[in-house]
Structure 1
């Protein structure tokens, strides 16, 4: 008897839920839309993460060799003695050194002898034999040929211009090579070995070593003997790779920790979506208070209402997953492209669609819907049969003044913090304290804007009441009256919009300011007139008299991995930095300078001895700390005046930056002011995740706000039909609802913009020269689409909601 009763109870709950959703679709439409958006975003991120975690990176450049000795992309890190040791192994049939250097977007230059490591074979022409000759692959487009710029493949005899290390040289195509297998993610140009070394600017070291076994030697034996030869260099980052691991040596794999950003975005989406779905379902249940009250009055138990709400949640979750997962599949490529731009995903990443992300999305949607239904159903247990029918919401009441006073108090505290910061009354305990005080001010501004938003709508309605009434005598007049009288009705929607847009504006605006400030401080440290930059590096031949060149490389200091800068020239002619110890231009062989933060972390000071190991070195070398310089983005954690015998194989190579005085004719040269803009963009590229998180939250907030506005219109079916009976046309009723949406959304967008302007003004005023760049800190590029989307969504939702509410005028009057 128990199971039939359970089945009957479940069937009754599902039947009631289905009848409710079918008869009153508007009550659940907002929750469904929120669930669909949540399912779409979650599934999109899950498709990307699942593809990245399960993908096998393609092996392209090293497809023609079974074993590769590499360093994970550190240029010139394999010393000649290791190359010679591997070649002398009796199990090795051939060991081919490889040099790789950038020669343009997505293209790499190589020596012709290393072409055997690749799947490329000549299909036309001959190999290069002189410095001005090149072999291109079949995917290489023709660029700058004569006065023409085309995208046609080049052929034998064409002239192509190749940029390597910041210098453009003309080469004649003497051959065309084609890949025997798939070749999608790289382009290859082959030069003579000597010319490739000159273009790359390498020292005696090479980038990788392709190893072939002698006939009859198996891969296990080859890997074992090469591994023993490489073992003394393992501490310098040298390693062997076979099979799919070869793709990591050519840069086709994902770096360690590269999926932290997608997982963070997914986690943020899950948290925000959970809150928004719970709010949407709770609002749906509150709007149906009279219906639930009637069910309680005729004898329904709270547990029966909870089961009905759970069944509704399951139905909504199933429908939302069915609609959200296809939308997520469409959004996944867009997200993948953005993550490629971030550098999180490599160019070799390929999106695949498997059923597991869809199943996880279904589980998430069901869990969130059930949790939200349980939270919403908890309210039904407090409804008693005797007073159930009194649950109808009251209109026309004002929001309590406690909310207004709280918002004003938070704004006052934010103003005091701003005044203390601008007046430099206190440093808040140092740089960290100042930063915390600024973040507290930002949080207070966002919270205050959300709390006072309803009164901003009220004040704006009173201000424009006459003008709106003259523009639209019926719809506009009634809309203004509704917004002013039923002020409470719009509070939830305006709060969500204000919080979302203000958060997005404050976060993106202050992030722009911090990017600018870091760039301005870096530019303030530069004493040179121009800075040379190039995506392909900078050739030593660009280092003219008095210029200073900087190179970067990873090292380990006392067992800790860090980064280092090797300087050529007098660094004090390029940068002006406070230094403790010997001047930076007086460093000698065997001495090193440390950044302040690294010195503080390790306890090193001028005179301290440290052990440093370079990439590809057998043993670490002992250095004396001669100076400690202020933290700067221009220099890495360690500074070397040059490389001695322990890292002679790394000597030479293209520079990361070159600082010059006087005129600079090179097209890559930037003035100090132009360099500020470049550094700002560079900083923004490293800090892209936080603004996207803020905008993601803003989007969910806008969905919740439009949901609240539309549900409020669904509940006014009687009011709309009554207006129709008094002679108003459908168009006038619709215009009234649209005016209400505009009068609700536009004032809070203006409030959000004002809060954003205030925060960036405080930031800009705290830095010399910041006010001149104030307008550039205001994120119009983010706020304009968010604001336009909010207005359009509110208008579209208003039109649809009014039409649905008046779908059956006779029933609405009952």
Structure 2
């Protein structure tokens, strides 16, 4: 048996090369996703400003809740959690504590770029020392780090005089120091501090009893210093898991099709083995061992290459701002071993399943390949119908999901499940479709006649080719147009709901908003700040607007938005709340509040699930500076003059808001999966064509010219591409319709031009992947 396995691998290099490539790409993607997942689980962020502090006391960056069966769960909050300032005194009172230094953290602008300000008293947390100048003493003085010497410092709408420069700088953050009293004023959190540094390293839990404060040491200090980096770890967990799961499903679909095609091309060989007394079990074992041999080799190489796409994705995530630069990839054996194991098992299982019917053929069927190729086993039909039913159920579920976190993974899974159903039911569906599509070809010239005959005879082979092309179109359309659906629906709501004449932003200080209110002709200035809050453990988008908000039309369906105050909230229709209800939630910095619902509105895509009074939300975000909307008849010149002291520019209308970094990062991650689907499609087409050299030789001997054969292949591929793109488009349309119904309440909004380009590109790739190996095969002698 081992001899047959080795002989098969040696003699059918093209067939096994196709399976090798598919398994290699699958293992590389799974390994890359596993690397991101491992980074999310085990990645650490080295402290910079807290590098000289043995212990850092800070607020809990998670909200906790008890779920079913008494299990406690935690979810990260969106902003920095603050702690009572008097904790520093309690910590100093502990035996063994040498000192406890509190600090505050607030946003500043350094040289036109964002940075963070602190009180000079907390400079020793690093420690920062002066290279030149002196410490800040008055309310208009600041000290900058070594990387920003000579830069202008702005905070709270004011420009500060730089009186000193430190000897060092933090690598991943611009750091500015102010007089302690001024720093607390700019932070705007009376009685609170962002962290407390403790010397030496000692257990301070006794002083923290009864509070939500936590003590951190070692690398955990970096998580306190960079809370956004800690939240990025959670993003990497979800992205890595999505890549692994999607890649495995695509791999099973692609590899099973590739192996099935390979076995179809070996029907005569396998039948002859049966004729010389090989049992079905022996054939299955031989095919399984072949798959194991190819799978182990391909998966090992692919898994070892996985860190390369993982590093590329991390680089892109950093460029997009979805992941901080100081969160580095964590390498280890687990992603590689998991990728090898998952890919090898997927390849072996696909081979064994594909071999079940092939191994039962009778020896006399060696000369009856047509009959074998046209039959579809009842088991496959039953499984196909069950998967089809599952696709319908999942589509219905998707149509009821109204949050991005819930719908995003389901939308890709739905498209994949529909594609699997098409793949399982492919031969009979392809046979029926090609019977209709080939009617005009039967009366055409030699190329068309030959193409029609081939398509009717080899419907099983064509079904194997249709599947990866269908997957490519369905997956790409679903991923691209789910994004355009949300963007266009959001833009439409924002355009309809923003009635302001001008906008300014982002990061507009309150002082600039006050200056705009004093410009003649301005009737209203609305400050808008955005964040996310938690209702229980569910994350919801929120905005805070100043009183009146006459520049916004949220589409209020009940209540009065004018009644908004610090103790109230307006909610989107999707939350299922009514006017007068009381809502308990956790603000972005972990502060629990109870607010009364005073209005319900419809335009949640553009304006968030909840709308608060600006004063309430701004007091609980890291950066209270936001966007400003201006209504009235004031001239642009007057508005521009009012903004000039703050270094801001005037905009017009609602403006376009680009997709967030998380959405861009998801598109990058899924782009690799789309690339895998593209490689699989090219691989399958090239494999299906290269194995037809015997057929081409017979056609040449029968008098067919190279031009006629290439014309035949072009027509075949065009019809197959037409069938695949139609099926992929239908799958994407069904999936996107359900997605749009749940998320926007309207129809999907694809880009017609992009879709036509995708169809044309798919057809071009299919033709190229068919004709190039065909030309190589036709160069061989006809005998």
| TM-score range relative to shorter protein | 0.7 to 0.9
Structure 1 partner of 2:520: none
Q: Determine if contact 2:103/2:194 at 8 Å carries over to the other structure.
A: yes
Alpha carbons of structure 1 residues 719 and 168: separation in structure 2 relative to 1, 3 Å? farther
Query: What is the Cα deviation at residue 291 of structure 1?
Result: 0.3
Q: Is the 8 A contact 2:402 2:574 kept in 1?
A: no
For the 8 Å contact 1:314–1:369, the answer to whether it is kept is: yes
1:50 to 31, 38, 46: 38
**Residue of structure 1 aligned with 2:751, choices 757, 761, 778:** 778
CA separation of 1:807 and 1:132: change in aligned 2, threshold 3 A:
farther
> Deviations along 1:126-171, whole A, 9 cap, x unmatched?
545566665444445xxxxxxxxxxxxxx5xx3x345657x69586
Out of 306, 310, 316, the residue aligned to residue 332 of structure 1 is 310
- The residue number in structure 2 matching 1:8 is none
Contact 2:317/2:665, CA 8 A, preserved across alignment: no
CA distance in 1 between counterparts of 2:275 and 2:373 reads 27
Say which of 79, 83, 99 aligns to 2:105: 99
Q: Is the 8 A contact 2:322 2:665 kept in 1?
A: no
Alignment of 1:170-569 (within 5 A): 174-179=164-169, 184-193=171-180, 196=183, 200=186, 202-204=188-190, 206-213=192-199, 219-220=201-202, 223-224=203-204, 227-234=205-212, 238-251=213-226, 253-255=229-231, 257-258=234-235, 259-340=237-318, 345-385=323-363, 387-393=364-370, 488=459, 489-534=461-506, 536=507, 538-543=509-514, 544-545=516-517, 546-551=524-529, 567-569=545-547
Q: Rg larger in 1 or in 2?
A: 1
Show the 5 A alignment for 1:611-760: 625=596, 627-630=598-601, 632=604, 634=607, 637=610, 639-640=612-613, 642=615, 654-662=624-632, 663=634, 665=640, 667=648, 670-674=651-655, 677-678=656-657, 681-682=658-659, 699-725=675-701, 737=713, 740-741=716-717, 744-745=720-721, 748-749=724-725
- The match for 2:764 is 791
Structure 1 residue 529, shift from structure 2 partner: 3.3
5+ residue gaps in structure 1?
1-12, 141-154, 418-427
TM-score with structure 2 length normalisation? 0.74
Q: Give, in angstroms, the shift of residue 19 of structure 1.
A: 0.5
Secondary structure of 1:777's aligned partner? coil
1:423 is matched with none
Q: Deviations over 1:742-789 (max 9, x none)?
A: 564367547856987999899999999x99xx9x83175687478636
Q: d(CA) in 2 for partners of 1:673 and 1:111?
A: 37
Alpha-carbon distance between aligned partners in 1 of 2:533 and 2:670, rounded to the nearest angstrom: 36
Tell me the secondary structure at the aligned position of residue 284 of structure 2. Answer: helix
Q: Would the alpha carbon gap of residues 778 and 556 (structure 1) be closer, same or farther in structure 2, given more than 3 Å must change?
A: closer
Q: Contact 1:78 / 1:207 at 8 angstroms: preserved in 2?
A: yes
Alpha-carbon contact 2:583-2:596 (below 8 Å) kept: yes
Q: Does structure 1 conserve the Cα–Cα contact (< 8 Å) formed by 2:135 and 2:143?
A: yes
Against the structure 1 CA distance between its residues 57 and 309, is the aligned structure 2 distance closer, same or farther, given a 3 Å change threshold? Answer: same
Is 512-521 or 85-94 further displaced after alignment?
85-94
Please say if residues 132 and 166 of structure 2, whose CA atoms lie closer than 8 Å, have aligned partners that are also in contact.
Answer: yes
Task: Indicate how the Cα distance of structure 1 residues 65 and 15 shifts in structure 2: closer, same or farther if over 3 A, else same.
Answer: same
Contact in 2 for aligned 1:49/1:263 (Cα 8 Å): yes
Point out the more displaced range, 443-452 or 703-712.
443-452
Q: Which residue of 2 aligns with 1:421?
A: none
**Corresponding position: 1:113 with 2:138:** no
Q: In structure 1, how many angstroms separate the alpha carbons of the residues matched to 2:762 and 2:574? A: 47
Check the 8 A contact 2:546/2:613 in 1, yes or no.
Answer: no
- Whether contact under 8 Å (1:106, 1:185) holds in the other structure is no
The answer as to whether partners of 1:493 and 1:706 remain within 8 angstroms in 2 is: no
Q: Is the 8 A contact 2:474 2:731 kept in 1?
A: yes
Moved more, 661-670 or 300-309: 661-670
- How many residues were matched structurally? 714
Change (3 A) 1:376 1:172: same
Q: Is the 8 A contact 2:58 2:215 kept in 1?
A: yes
